Amino acid sequence: DSAAPPNFIRHIIKEDIAGGRYDGRVVTRFPPEPNGYLHIGHAKSICLNFGLAKEFGGVCHMRFDDTNPAREETEYVDSILEDVRWLGFSWGEHLYYASDYFERLYDFAVRLIEMGKAYVDSLSPDEIREYRGTLTSPGKESPYRNRSVAENLDLFQRMRAGEFEDGAHVLRAKIDMSEPNIIMRDPALFRIRKVGHHRTGDTWCIYPMYDFTHCLSDSIEGITHSICTLEFENNRELYDWVLDTLAVYHPQQIEFARLNLSYTVLSKRKLIQLVSEGHVSGWDDPRMPTISGLRRRGYTSAAIRNFCERIGVARRDSMVDIALLEYSIREDLNRRAPRMMAVLRPLRIVIENYPEGEVEALEFINNPEDPAAGTRKVPFSRELYIEQEDFMENPPKKFFRLAPGREVRLRYAYFITCTEVVKDDAGRIVELRCTYDPATKGGDAPDGRKVKGTLHWVSAAHAVPAEVRLYDTLFTLENPAECEDFRSCLNPDSLKVLTDCRVEPDLADALPETGFQFERTGYFCADRDSRPGRPVFNRTVTLRDTWAK
């Protein structure tokens, strides 16, 4: 597809297949740590790994990188599986947990000790850090580095048996303390951590480190292309060292640029802070860049997949404009969302020459982009609500909506003319008196006279009271990471709640996450906070497109 944005990994895989590497197999994996909810950055990785596997007739493994028990929970495992499924991908029988490999990883570690390639170090964590050196100075060898194989085997076995406290010993690879790549200066492989694990319980009190676990998990599962983000570029040397030293099957690690999105943060640590400090209502707050937040906000999985395809895959870090994400959901909802009428800030109007007690069912086209969506009936009566902002008592020149003495069209209904403005004692407009022209039924005048404004409306007696939540970006700065404390550029107006809205009757029982276009107002979806007779809607995105194509 020449129109598709560049994806350099696709080319690597094509060449591997053409060259007969890995016997033409393609096995990728998505390896989240279950220590938080997935965000839109993860969606990029999910679309990439599952997408490439699908494209080349391979498989993508769903693997939990659950080696850090202190921060991991089953709640996160469940939410991650739900989100990947919702995004439209399936792993079939290929669901794996790094924790299932603990015993094999232990055995691999023993093999390294036997080869003289690993040792138990008894320096304190602070000393280890100090001995590691810096970018400009070489590290120093630990005095425990030359323990005998027998002593190392004994100590490692006793680490496992729980004889020592956290931090007393650590198993390290024996590589080279003067390596320019600091990661290669005798990295830790196993550490003591007396914490229960969400899957293995109290079976283990030593846990393998990420760099040791990840490459071996890839190897055990027969992964061909191990795709990760650029910050792991320096770790590739260790990935290769472990697999080469143990002489086991060796996948290739390929790094790509992580997604950065303007006006938000995509770091789990920061997202956790937003949740735990109460800056948002939870992981699925519709302002969050999490998959669950976007879903609750009204994003569809198709829009997110299209977005991920559009941004492409490169090796250079960049910032993606959030307007592109919004463009993707607008494009999708424009195609599939029914057009409905909802009045966010109601102003009552009374049509004085319309018979009292009469109700007409007017026909509305559900979606002009989709004839198959059909039509529906909307009740019209003498008393209606329109938007407050659609009326001005003293309108400026360019205001084409309702004003005293002016005629406008009510969508799919009639032309009306404002004849009187009713105010309360404080001088606030509380009601408009109007007349209608019965000959304009459907929205056109038989005499050919034109009106400039078309307003949406709801019938006062039939409309359903609703709450509408208007969202704006969570941060005021394009790159919140530039703030000394990212919380100091939180947008105080990221949520505006309107509690006195009126929506047409068909919206009363809208199901959560189902998208609508509220005519002239934006795209919305019902929220799960909806109650019978009182739906709650989230604004997914405004109608106006700010994305320059």
User: From the annotation, which residues make up the binding site for ATP?
Assistant: 33-35, 39-45, 229, 258-259, 266-268
Residue 199, contacted partner among ligand ATP, Mg ion, none, CB below 5-8 A by kind: none
| Total number of residues that touch ligand ATP (CB under 6 A) | 15
Q: Which of 318, 546 has the CB closer to ligand ATP?
A: 318
Q: Which of 268, 297, 305, 406 is catalytic?
A: 268
* C-beta closer to ligand ATP: residue 5 or 533: 5
Q: Extract the tokens encoding 274.
A: 């937003």
Contact by Cβ (8 Å): 298, 316: no
Pick out residues in 196-235 that bind ligand ATP (CB under 6 A). Answer: 228-229
Secondary structure (DSSP) of 143-205: TTTT--HHHHHHHHHHHHTT-S-TTS-EEEE---TT-SSGGGSS-EEEEE----BTTTBTS-S
Residue 135 three-state SS: coil
Q: Which residues, 4 to 43, sit near Mg ion by CB under 5 A? A: 33
Residue 262 in contact with ligand ATP, rule: CB under 6 A? no
258 part of the active site: yes
State which of residues 32, 51, 293, 298 lies at the interface with ligand ATP (CB under 6 A).
32
User: Beta strands 429-437 and 415-423: pairing type?
Assistant: antiparallel
Residue 217 Cβ vs ligand ATP, minimum distance, rounded to whole Å: 12
Nearer to Mg ion, 71 or 94 (CB): 71
CA 307 to CA 327: how far, in whole Å?
9
Exactly one of 24, 33, 77, 141 binds ligand ATP (CB under 6 A); that residue is 33
Determine, following the binding rule CB under 6 A, whether residue 61 of this chain makes contact with ligand ATP. Answer: no
Q: Does residue number 68 form part of the binding site for ligand ATP (CB under 6 A)? A: no
Q: Measured from the CB of residue 313, what is the shortest distance to ligand ATP in angstroms?
A: 9
Distance CA(383)–CA(424), nearest Å, equals: 18
Taking the complex as a whole, the smallest distance from the CB of residue 216 to Mg ion amounts, in Å, to 16
Between residues 242 and 333, which has the closer beta carbon with respect to Mg ion?
242
With left for phi above 0 and alpha for psi between -120 and 50, is residue 79 left, alpha or beta? Answer: alpha
Q: Residue 121 or residue 211: which is nearer to ligand ATP going by CB? A: 211
Minimum CB distance to Mg ion, residue 197 (Å): 17
For ligand ATP, the closer of residues 41 and 69 by Cβ is: 41
Q: Are 26 and 53 in contact (CB under 8 A)?
A: yes
Q: How far is residue 520 from each of residues 128, 283, 390, 457, 545, measured CA to CA in Å?
A: 63, 30, 11, 11, 13
293 touches ligand ATP by CB under 6 A = no
Q: Which residues contact 127 (CB under 8 A, 6 or more apart)?
A: none
Amino acid at 233: E
Residue 275 is a binding residue for ligand ATP (CB under 6 A): no
Please give the structure tokens belonging to residue 363: 């026909």
Identify which of residues 121 and 218 has a Cβ nearer to ligand ATP in the complex. Answer: 218
Q: How far lies 315's CA from each of 256, 257, 306, 426, in Å?
A: 5, 5, 20, 63
151 is known as an active-site residue: no
Instruction: State in angstroms the smallest separation of the CB of 95 from ligand ATP.
Output: 15
Angstrom CA distances, 525 to 322, 367, 467, stand at 20, 16, 12
Query: Alpha-carbon distance 10 to 48, whole Å?
Result: 9
Which of Mg ion, ligand ATP, none sits in contact with 456, Cβ below 5 to 8 A by type? none
| Minimum CB distance to Mg ion, residue 41 (Å) | 10
Q: How far is the CB of 49 from ligand ATP (least distance, A)?
A: 8
Backbone torsions φ then ψ of 507, nearest 5 degrees: -90, 0
The binder of ligand ATP chosen from 31, 51, 139, 515 (CB under 6 A): 31
- CB under 5 to 8 A by kind: which of ligand ATP, Mg ion, none does 45 bind? ligand ATP
Instruction: Select the residue whose beta carbon is closest to ligand ATP and give its number.
Output: 41
Site for ligand ATP, residues 40 to 59, rule: CB under 6 A: 41-42, 44-45
Q: Is 268 in the site for ligand ATP (CB under 6 A)?
A: yes
287, interface contact from ligand ATP, Mg ion, none, CB < 5-8 Å by kind: none
Task: Check 33, 73, 237, 383 and give the catalytic one.
Answer: 33
Using CB under 6 A as the binding rule, whether residue 381 contacts ligand ATP is answered as: no
CA distance 498 to 508: 17
Non-local CB neighbours of 104 within 8 Å, separated by 6+ positions? 216, 220
Name 60's bridge partners: 28
Q: In what order do the strands lie in the sheet with 464-471?
A: 339-340, 515-518, 522-526, 536-541, 464-471, 495-503, 342-343
Query: Interacting stretch for ligand ATP, rule CB under 6 A, among 28-36, 180-188, 193-201, 429-437?
Result: 28-36
Question: Tokens 């979606």 identify what position?
Answer: 367
- Cβ atoms of 537 and 511 closer than 8 Å: no
- Reply yes or no on whether 431 is catalytic: no
Of 25, 132, 193, 258, the active-site residue reads: 258
- If one asks whether residue 251 binds ligand ATP (CB under 6 A), the answer comes out as no
What, of Mg ion, ligand ATP, none, does residue 245 touch, CB below 5 to 8 Å by kind?
Answer: none
* Overall residue count recorded for the chain in this entry: 549
Q: Should residue 98 be labelled a site residue for ligand ATP when binding is judged by CB under 6 A?
A: no
41 binds, among ligand ATP, Mg ion, none (CB under 5 to 8 A by kind): ligand ATP
For ligand ATP, the binding residues in 382-401 under the rule CB under 6 A are none
Contact between 236 and ligand ATP by CB under 6 A: the answer reads no
CA distance 345 to 274: 31
Q: Which of 271, 282, 274 is nearest to 529 (CA)?
A: 282
Catalytic residues: 33, 258, 268
Residues at the site binding Mg ion, with contacts judged by CB under 5 A:
33
Residues at the site binding ligand ATP, with contacts judged by CB under 6 A:
31-33, 41-42, 44-45, 228-229, 258-259, 266-269
